[in-house]
Amino acid sequence: MVINNEQAHKFFLEQGITHLFHANTLGTSCTFINAGGLLSRGCVERNGLFQTVQSSDTADKTFDVWNDIFLDSADLHSLFNRINFYGPVLFKIKVDILLSENLPELYVTKSNPRDWTVQETKNDHYFTNFDAFKRVYKPGKSFQEMLTLKNTFSPLPFEGYLEEIILDNPQRSLMINSAYKDVYQESYTILKNCMDNSPYNYNNVNITTRNCWPFCNCDDMYQETFESTIRKLFLKRALITNT
Ligand SMILES: [Zn+2]
């Protein structure tokens, strides 16, 4: 079950994978920025920190992944030309994080936990050895295989590994603090303030506006998204329910 992190690092580099990715909402991302690293849902909860509700929360608890940190080996928005369902803020992290000190146990899922069933066993959910993973993994195509750091109780540090934060532009305007404002501009400002006021140093980390292909579906998807969901995805806690 446990995958050797050095083997995984070497393999990803051989496949041309230089970065891993984690997508989330803006509100939860600000919690990560203030903590100096990615946190599992369980760790955020235990520490009384803020995170937006995800539709996968119930499944995460049922299948014992509530304390795990998830990483993708691809930018799923760019791979599928659609929004990332976990949120519009994408942390782009050097694959070298797999060699970081005190890395929790690394597992690789065979599929997304939201598709798991209670009849299945752990062997159905996770690769049992690294060779089995290598046989099915296709760089730039595989997305079901998620790297998970099991049972984490502290942040997975950004320092030295977080290279860039990519932010979607939903091309929407909403009433924010009694004025009609561009959601992207507001979201960018919140993220930037969060980084500037954090106890951690993000001077070398840029926030980049996502650049999509003209045929990307994200624009249509964001236009069709309910205002309350846009608020949850792009605004900080205090503004999520404000109108
Ligand atoms: Zn797009």
Mapped to the 3 state alphabet, what secondary structure does the chain carry?
CCCCHHHHHHHHHHCCCCEEEEEECHHHHHHHHHHCEECCHHHHHHCCCCCCCCCCHHHHHHCCCCCCEEEECCCHHHHHCCCCCCCCEEEEEEHHHHHCCCCCCEEEECCCHHHCCCCCCHHHHECCCHHHHHHHCCCCCCCCCCEEECCCCCCEECCCCEEEEEECCCCCEEEECCEEEEHHHHHHHHHHHHHHCCCCCCCCCEEEECCCCCCCCHHHHHHCCCHHHHHHHHCCHHHHCCC
What's the full length of the chain, in residues? 243
Amino acid letter at 42? G
- What is the pLDDT, as a whole number, of residue 58? 84
Beta carbons of 130 and 98 less than 8 angstroms apart = no
Centre of ligand 1 to C-alpha 80, Å, is: 9
- Measured in angstroms, how far is the CA atom of residue 154 from the centroid of ligand 1? 32
Please give the pLDDT value at position 201.
Answer: 96
Whole-structure pTM value: 0.95
List residues, by chain if needed, whose CB lies under 5 Å from ion ligand 1: 212, 216, 218
Find the 219 Cα to ligand 1 centroid distance in Å.
Answer: 6
- Mean pLDDT of the 112-120 span: 89
Please tell me the distance between residue 81's alpha carbon and the centre of ligand 1 in angstroms.
5
d(CA 32, CA 36): 6
Amino acid identity at 181: K
User: In angstroms, what is the span from residue 54 Cα to ligand 1's centroid?
Assistant: 21
* Tens digits of residue pLDDT in 65-75: 999 999 999 99
Look-up of token digits 């998830």: 70
Full residue range of the structural domain in which residue 163 is found:
5-240
Q: Which residues lie below 8 Å from residue 105, measured CB to CB, with a gap of 6+?
A: 2, 149, 150, 151
**Ligand 1 centroid from CA 12, angstroms:** 25
- In tens, the pLDDT along 36-50 reads 999 999 999 999 999
Give distance in angstroms: CA of 82 to centre of ligand 1: 5
Who contacts 87 (Cβ-Cβ below 8 Å, separation ≥6)?
Answer: 23, 24, 25, 26, 28, 29, 52, 233
Task: Tell how far the Cα of 39 is from the centroid of ligand 1, in angstroms.
Answer: 26
What's the pLDDT band for 173 if we cut at 50, 70, 90? very high
How many domains is the chain partitioned into structurally? 1
Cross-strand pairs, 94: 19
pLDDT digits (tens, 9 = 90+) for 119-170: 999 999 999 988 999 998 888 777 888 999 999 989 999 999 999 999 999 9
**Band of residue 57 on the pLDDT scale cut at 50, 70, 90:** confident
> Are 165 and 90 contacting, i.e. CB atoms less than 8 angstroms apart?
yes
CB atoms within 10 A of CB 121: 7
90 C-alpha to center of ligand 1: Å? 12
From ligand 1's centre to the CA of 216, what distance in Å? 5
State the residue for tokens 């079950």: 1
Find the 173 Cα to ligand 1 centroid distance in Å: 18
